[in-house]
Amino acid sequence: MKKLIVLRHGEAGFSNGLDFQRQLTQKGKSALEQLGKVISEKNISVDFMYCSPATRTRETAQIMGDFLEIHDQKYSMEIYDGHLESLIHLLEKTSNAVETCLLVGHNPTISLLVSHISDGDYVGLQPGMMAILELHVSDWAMVGHGTGSLVEILH
C-alpha cells in the first residue's frame, strides 16, 4: 500500500520582498523540530520527496531531513504555483518503486489535496502540520479523488 505524507511548510515571517523568499520564523523552526521528533519515532522512511522551491518549504524540508530518511527528492514549481490538478499530475508521475512519498507545499492547495484524496471534509493544515494518508492504489498513476484514507494528522 502506498503512503503519502503531506506537510505544510512551517510558520514563515512576512517579507518586504517576494513571497517566494519568505523564511521560517524561529517559532516555525522549533515547531518543525518537535514534529520531526514525533515523526522519527514512527520509523518512517521516505522514498521520494516533492518540495516547492520557495525558501520556506526548502527550509522545512531541510529540518525534516534531520529526522526522516529521505532517499530522493525533486523541487517543483508546480507545487509553488499550486493548483490541485498540478499536484495530482505530479503524484501520477511518481515511480511505482516509491512506496512512501512526502510532499512539502503550501495552502490552500495541499489541504485541498488531502481532502480530495481522502474524499473527506476539508482539512485545513496550519503551518507545520502533517497529514499521513494511506493510498488504496498500487500505482501512483491511479491517485485521485477518494483513492486514500487519512490516517493521522501530526503537528
CATH code, domain carrying 76: 3.40.50.1240
Q: Is 8 annotated as a binding residue?
A: no
Closest CA to 51 of 70, 28, 35: 70
The total number of structural domains that make up the chain: 1
* Residue 144 CB partners (closer than 8 Å, separation 6+): 88, 116, 117
**Domain span at 112:** 3-12+21-154
What residue type is 127 in one-letter code? P
Tens-digit pLDDT profile for residues 77-89? 999 998 999 999 9
Tens-digit pLDDT profile for residues 87-140? 999 999 999 999 999 999 999 999 999 999 999 888 899 999 999 999 999 999
pTM for this prediction: 0.96
Tens-digit pLDDT profile for residues 29-50? 999 999 999 999 998 899 999 9
